Structure formats: C-alpha cells, structure tokens
Amino acid sequence: AQRPRGVSSSKASFYQEGKEFVCLDSGQVIPWEYVNDDYCDCSDGTDEPGTSACSNGFFFCENRAYRGTYIASSRVNDGICDCCDGSDEYEERIQCSNTCEELGKKEKEEREAFRKLQEEGYKIKQEYIQQGKRTKDEKRARLSELEKEMAELTSARDDLQQKKDEAEAPEKEAKERHEKAWEEYKAERQAEKDRVAAIHAFAELDINSDRRVDLVEMQRHMEFDIDSDGTVSDEEAREYLDDSDSVELEKFQERIWANIKDIYKPPQEAMEEGERQPSEQPEAVTPPPPPPQEEGKGEDDTKPAEEEEKMPPYDEETQKLIDAADAARKEYNDADQKVRDAENEINGLKKYLEVDYGPDEEFSSLRGQCFEYTDREYTYKLCPFDRAVQKPKAGGIETSLGKWGHWYGPEEDKYDAMKYENGQSCWNGPNRSCHVNLHCGTENKLTGASEPSRCEYQFEFTTPARCSRPQPEPKEHVHEDL
C-alpha cells in the first residue's frame, strides 16, 4: 500500500488508510482524513509527516540511491531542496533535481577515500603506538634505574665529601703555616729597606755633613711647604723635625723618617719641582692624549715595577698535603656532577611521563617537533605539548599564543582537541589562547590557523595519531530507514 507522504517504511504500519489515526506519541485519536491535510492536530506533530503544518514534525526523505533522512517539517515546501530526491518540495515552488545518485556516489567515494586515509593513517599510528609505548617503557625503566642509582650515587658522593673534608684540614694548616712565615719575612725585609732609606735620606738632607739635619737643610726641600706658599718656613721645617731645630741620625730614624718618607723627594727631583712651579703648565692648555689603556697596566704605571717578590714554593711536606686534597676534591666534584646529572634526567623523565599522550601513547611522537603554517600575514607554529606561536611573515618577534595546557575535546573524545593557554596577554583583552583541532591524516601537518574571537586562536592539525581503526569494507549500498 502507498504510504502517506513523508512517512518512512519502518513507520508505515502506523498509518493505515481509512482507519482512525493515533498520534504516535501523544495518543490523540483523529480521523484518517486529518492525516497530511496541512493542519496540525497531533501535539506531537505525527499527523502531518508530509506537510509543514506541525512545527515539531519530521518529513522522511526517501532519497533512493542515497540514504533516507528525516528533515524538520518546517523545511517542507519552503522553496529549498533539502531532500536529494526533491520530495520535500512537492508543491514545486522550486524545481528540484534528483541528486541522490550523485550524492550517493560522492558519499561512497568520500567514504572510500576516508577509509583509505584511515587505513593508511592507522598503520602509521600503530608505529606511533609502538614507538610511544617503547619510549614510555624506556623512560620508565630509565627512571626507575636512575632512582635506584641515585641512592648509590648520593652515598658515594657523601663518602667522598668526607674524604675531601679530611684531606683539606691538614692542607689548610700547612698552607697557613707557610704563608705566615712568608709574611713575617716580608715585614722584616721592609723594615730593613726603610732603615737603609732613612740613612740614605739623612745623608742627602745633611748637606753640610754635620751628621745633623737642621731647619735650613729641611728648607731646601719644597715638599715640606705645607701651605704651598713657595717657601718652607721655620715652622714648617720644625713641624717635620718633631719640633726640634735639628736632629741626629738616630732620632731621624726613630721619629722623623716615618712621617716624611711618603712625601720626601731626593734633592734632584725636589729641585726640579721647585723650578717648574712658577712656569706655566702646558698640559692645562693641551692635555696630552690619554695613554693607551692596556689590561693590567694601570698599576704598573703608577708604581713602577719593583718586581714583587714571589712567595717561595711550598715545602715538600705541604705540597704533598695539597696534592692529596686536590685529588679528594676532584673525586668529590665528579661524584656530585653525577648526582646532578641524574637529578636532571629524572626531572626530565618525570615531566615527560606526566603528560597524557593518548590512550596508547600515540601522540608521544609529536613531542619535540614543531609544525608551521603560513597564511597571508603570519607564520603559525605548533610545537605539540609545548607551545603555539605566531610570527609576522614580514619578520618581527614571535607572539606566544599559549603554552601546553590540556586535552580539550568533548567528554567522550577528549583527544579531539588540544588547548594551549596563558599566551601573551592581549591589549584590552585576555591572555592569548589556542584551540587545536586534531584530524586524522597521513602526515603530521598544521593545515589551518584562524582567530575566530579576538586573541582566541584556532589551529587545524592532521596527524596519523587521530586515525581510528578503519571500518570493514561496506557492503554494497544499504538503503535503510532511520
């Protein structure tokens, strides 16, 4: 029997011509004539499967050569071809051509193409899974290995530290002893030098060689001109002579020399200075070019090289202690470095193992790689599980669109999308973030980037890791009612 318009074969039995019609859900009973009479009688909309009368009804498109589908009743006779067989536009406000065969063919091709894609991608995914699992196992094994090793390494290091401490104590003592002796020797030598210098200066000052230095002799030395008035007055001379009018060598050595040795100049120099004083200073007019600066030369210039006497080498005993301590230190440092290296490696492993790389570790191979996509203005870069960035094509600085946050797919398929968050903040807006949609593909590729809302980016990324087990080859053309 002919089904009423818009009814699927699976529901045909409810529509019995000539019998009263019972609304499918609401249970109202209406005369058969009310079915498909372009007036909505059933509150559930089931009396008008073939018209637009019920706002909550559905029209069944037969769509032979394609696949039967339901459309909302509101799409019946509205001038738009919604069914591929055109059956929804039977009032012919518009001429609909039947596109079902074409559509069916196209769908089949697409399905086939997609199946192939899935198949190919799924193969690669298996490798990813193996690789991922292997990596994970390796990392886990390595981690537990390291964690075990760690105890040994730490205790070895601690032992060596003790040894080092033990070796360093006598070394320190011996070194200090040696250095102290050297300091004492140096002080003695200095005192001797001073004594000689005093005698020498005394002789220079004592022009009349009366074995006394007196005021007149002092006054020949302009360096004693305290108030810089051009002459050394009696008072000034006396000031330096410890309030005496003259002193003999013994007193000079004891009381005078210490006070004047820093300003005292031998007669030749003292005189030159005195002569130069009234004359003009050419330097003031044309300053000399600055001397070429050389590393480490500055001090030598001011204090002419009076070659610093070097500390004599440690004695054999001490040197032995030092060598022993050096050896202990090196051993300790090596052990300490091993601990640190192990710690770093453990942290790295933990960080890796914290991330969810999918139920079968299939996404793990994406880690450590970066993928780029360039549009008219920008190059976008995705480094999975790390970050997303944007860079102007014309050059310029990278803008962070977000750091790896979490999986962002719907509850039932959370690996469908990733979220990168807390990117660079936007002027007058939120921090940038990036939503990455993942699709099955035979290669890892960033295929699109957009900014649907200000500072909220969206990437499209294909990867074999998103390919699912392909469905078995479909049986030839299933036409079914839903």
At residue 478, the 3 state secondary structure works out as coil
Q: How far is the CB of 75 from other proteins (least distance, A)?
A: 8
20 binding other proteins? (CB under 8 A): no
Nearer to other proteins, 78 or 386 (CB): 78
Nearer to other proteins, 282 or 452 (CB): 452
At residue 473, the 3 state secondary structure works out as coil
Burial 443-468 (b: 16+ CB within 10 A, else e): ebbbeebeeeeebbbbbbbbbbbbbe
Using CB under 8 A, pick the residue from 456, 460, 470, 481 that binds other proteins. Answer: 456
CA-to-CA distance for 71 and 476, rounded, in angstroms? 25
Nearer to other proteins, 80 or 169 (CB): 80
Nearer to other proteins, 47 or 217 (CB): 47
277 binding other proteins? (CB under 8 A): no
Q: Which range of residues in 95-103, 111-119, 179-187, 452-460 is near other proteins by CB under 8 A?
A: 452-460
CA-to-CA distance for 415 and 385, rounded, in angstroms? 13
- Residues shown for the chain: 482
Using CB under 8 A, pick the residue from 22, 37, 204, 360 that binds other proteins. Answer: 37
Q: Which range of residues in 12-20, 49-57, 140-148, 414-422 is near other proteins by CB under 8 A?
A: 49-57
Q: Kindly identify the residues of this chain, within the stretch 400-429, that bind other proteins according to CB under 8 A.
A: 426, 428-429
75 binding other proteins? (CB under 8 A): yes
Question: Judged by CB under 8 A, how many residues of this single chain contact other proteins?
Answer: 24
CA-to-CA distance for 154 and 478, rounded, in angstroms? 69
Q: How far is the CB of 142 from other proteins (least distance, A)?
A: 45
Nearer to other proteins, 332 or 461 (CB): 461
State residue 304 phi and psi, 5-degree precision.
-50, 140
Q: Shortest CA distance to 45 belongs to which of 68, 70, 69?
A: 70
CA-to-CA distance for 405 and 226, rounded, in angstroms? 78
Q: Shortest CA distance to 50 belongs to which of 94, 18, 83?
A: 83
State residue 99 phi and psi, 5-degree precision.
-110, 10
Q: How far is the CB of 416 from other proteins (least distance, A)?
A: 18
Q: How many CB atoms lie within 10 A of CB 80?
A: 11
345 binding other proteins? (CB under 8 A): no
97 binding other proteins? (CB under 8 A): no
Contact residues for other proteins, defined by CB under 8 A: 37-39, 41, 52-53, 55, 72, 74-75, 78-80, 93, 376, 426, 428-429, 450-454, 456
